[in-house]
Structure 1
């Protein structure tokens, strides 16, 4: 009897303590999810092409996903339990608490998240076709030296613009194909302003060594030495070395048989001092130079009477240097007027040498191309690229935004029109070989200046216009007093991250009344003296981004013609002086600052076109009456800071919007206002709770998180491409979810490409038969415990045993159904989904789903060993054996494409 009473007492105690335990579990789970978000942010920073995620990290992330699902299920079971039975769940809750605590401890990953990707031995580089027999002979000679164990160091020597880098890029790519000879190929671009620290950092990034930032030079060298010593056969390519380096100080081991050092340089002495086998790259012979010129300018010029001898003379003036030939030829391409050609030859012939040294003949060829831009604004756009550090890769959008702020792109009605004009300018510079494309991604180009071209630009700006450029030079002391001359127009100290102070305290504030642009980003500046800006009344652009400053001097308020102020990623910045005098300011960037409120006087910035407040975590809401006054806004980026519908619905010029609405009411208010005007070109909008930031695939993205979806219809923009719905509640489970959505002027969601739904309650149906987005590329549904149908059944037709219809999704590439415990049907008893492009099917823990109604035309006449890209991922394995497919033969046709089955503890192959 006592035993029974004890059990009853224990059960009652469990019942009473359950709520407390559940609160503990939710709190710890929130901590775990926060750790997961931080880990994913670290992944973005650490993952590079030469790295891969550690297996333990991947397993940990999967375990976090698993425990979230289990807790969600447990919460559901407790909610469904009768009052007296709730205590029976206490042990389960305590078990989950222990598991979450273990995962929190496991998720610290102090040793980093990534390891070397051993399957990669180097980076493939973009190359150009080499011109001339001598260049090809150089490639052959270098290759023979690399294959010869007796040759350890190879120095490729020649004047600027002669093609040394192009030759070494060919060698680099050829080495990557010879994987049996070397363990790793390391390409490092050095630069004129070389420093030991920068070189060590660049090498470390290529070989997987991570510096904490506290090491001294010797310690860094030891870390590099240890890692490189383990790679018995490596090739180190140092491109554009200007002076002798000590391999020991850098951390490069004494090279023995099997490892190689290859360098390019303009100095024979560098090769000699390092003991290299020297290979000289000479200019092109005249006939090869002429052929290269014709290739770049267009062979059709030979059809213009009288032009060939003039063109040959111009090509000859390029002195056989590929860089000069390509630059001048690109400048003359498309010109068929004989007078213009004669004038070009005259200009080239009378040029005076403007600098001393090996580059004399190259410089005036390059400056010829600059002069032929003609348009002063176009020339200014080019010169502004020299404000960035040497070898700096510049995002096209950032550079064009800078040109717009400088006034070098004429003001137009829309920001998109201004960017289009900026792209046109960019193409002019690229086509004239004054800039080059570094990388190309789906989000835009990245460009850079050839170092010789940059030298030419800096030479021009040493006179008129006057620039002071000391970007990326690792300065620890600011420029001397005399360098802050009164005729300066632009100053750039970008990337001197050890600078800390702008000028000594004993120095009077600079008197630079002509200064229009001051770029001080990433300089380690701790504070700015109060009077620093007193004599800079002409300043239009001020960039103080990426500095550890906590406040700004009041004198910044006197910069009355300032048009652009960037304080992005000043993580310590807590307050700003009043900006009420900055009434012509057009761009204000406060991304990732520590401010708690918007700057005083912002409502007076009636000319503001660009406002960025994203990642300012302490800025919760923008007060009423501010945004609604900024009627000129074209870009509004506020991240997680809350937006009010009535504040933004009147911003008729808005082209880009990134932000979060508190609820669906405010969101609807904004979208309804789009009915009579042009929608934004880009938007990433979140509604409801702060959720995990999803990596989006497009620039037209909406996320609903933690919203109660009531009977009122929710409006979506007409051109929405991505929709994410998570942790939402549908108030009527009998309706399909998409019955609650409508689009401005459309009703079939034809633009929707990516749809993900997770953790939604009280939802039994997703689509009606008449409302299936026809152009979906990705459909992912997870953890919706009550979902029974993806496409609702047409009950009347099914009762008569008739096929409802075919649902055609010709662009669907990924179908993912995970943890849908009640899912019984994808598209009704007789319905069929025809998917011409499906590449991935993932079904996990959908045990009540007995039929896969997929018609895959791509399977017809395709052999298992053919080129079809199709992956099928299932869990549990037994489900595959029991599920029925629309066609009897489909299961056997799909079997060769089965990839793997995810279990709780391991991954086992099915095939």
Structure 2
């Protein structure tokens, strides 16, 4: 028989070893379950922190217009997926741990615990790997540049033929350099924008389209910088390079590309080689298109094709004008379409004029408005002239295009106000009328023309809508241009307009600067003293409002009385706010009904006069809003006889004041302040003649005992008692340092508008004229401000009144601490 080989294998030992390995491996998932869950939770938090840091880096990069890398996005997606699994495992962890027994070495459900423990271990390993892979050196890259930037563009009328001709040149290799020329405002920039946007839409094979606004200051480096930004060369190193080095860099990039260079608003020829532009030819297929106001520039730029953009023919001009005016306006009156045709023809087919005037006339729905427009255009019709290219800034063209000297004066006048200052339209027109800019009309006509001029300036972008309702303001750059023009464009005249408005000055400019000035504006500063008297014989306008003026040198206006005399002589005076400190000035003021009728604010300082004060003059001040009296030493006297002459007079020496009911109304008066008027004991007459009073402050009047004396009211004004309700409009009442004051009014009053009542230094004022029915008591905004001690000692009509007003009290101590 053949050889036989016998092998003996101990099967029981092998089985035991395999069983041990298997059981031991499975047991490890169970034994380490609790530790692995804790490790997984820690790793998950660390992974989340890594993710958050990465997202911050990505967000920062994307704000810089970079694109996140695909591998970064994949990592973030993987983290999001594993996070869901981790949360599920950690959520199930407590239940699985509860199933463990024998000190965690075994489980009540070994199969389930094994599967769960294995999954925990695997996810822990995955989380650890993700955390390790989340350290990226770079998270984003530059976006591929769009070959063409889409630009905003209005719809147009009448440019079709010029556009088609220019587009044909872009598709024809023999036209490398193309010039587009025409007068200002004819639509050259709009045409170039349309070409740019069609290149964006059509994608006809150009690698890059570059738009550069050249304008007047056609510096080589400025053009190079614009091109450098568009082709990715502009960085910190670029800024330090010479224009020759920049030209070499530009040439290296563009010589390898098929490009279109669009140069807008060229005023003089540009040396393309000096800029670094490779000469376009039929081999490269590149193009240079430019716009200019001069056909001569097209020749000097060696343009192979010169495309004129002309004013619109009548049919197209009328179509554009109709669009801008709007059919609603044109159909609002049967006469308007014919008048509108006349206005449109005045524009000479110039799209800019048609657009601006059309928008201005939109909404004007009466034939008179259109006839006025025709009159204005007829008086000022002329061609727009080109400006010099070396002296004036670009914006001056808009000013030069205004043919009416009246509108120019009104425009320049706006520069007297501070930067970014919203000027109320009504106030601005008042100034223009006062300066005599709007002569030739009655008052109503002048105001209408003023609004017409404001509308014109807004449409010309020389003014903007202000931040407040019904106001306008100047763009800062436009304001600088206006001041430059007003001062002779930097030539012979200096400080013709001396304007330091809103400049935070604490001192006025030296008087030497005033000498040649015709208009001076120092408004809205912090000037306290005018210590020098200027010599400015040509001065027409002086703004000192909104300062902290305390002292003005005596001969600044010669004297206060002379100032009043000068006010008498003003041709236009509509609004007046005046401080009077001398008896002579006061008498001069009272002698003029015109000055009194114009006065909106009156401030009387009685330190050295006036020696006679006639409160009856308030009846003549129909526009008076604010009254301030300080230092008055007399008091109100009772009227002696109804037949007495209608006089209310205060003599500083004889303390005599009289009033009659027929003279007691000053309905415009809103604000009254009385300071250190030591002889006043009550204000009954004053309260009666000011029924619309909103603000009343009395301070330092040591003899004041009552605000309204009921006995005087009964004896001298019985006719008002039946409907007496003196404070229906009062919003603020402030009583300070009135040591003798005992009563505001003995009975309760209604205060429907009162927001605040301040009381300090009035120890004898024990009761306020309030009750539980007073409307103000239910207003959560109403407050009574005073000292705690004074408040606690107040008497109330009843407990309900005290309860109603208790929440309104605000301790003065708090304000003093603040």
Q: TM-score, normalised by structure 1?
A: 0.38
Structure showing greater Rg: 2
**Which of the pair is proportionally richer in helix?**
2
Bigger relative contact order, structure 1 or 2, given CA contacts below 8 A and separation 6+? 2
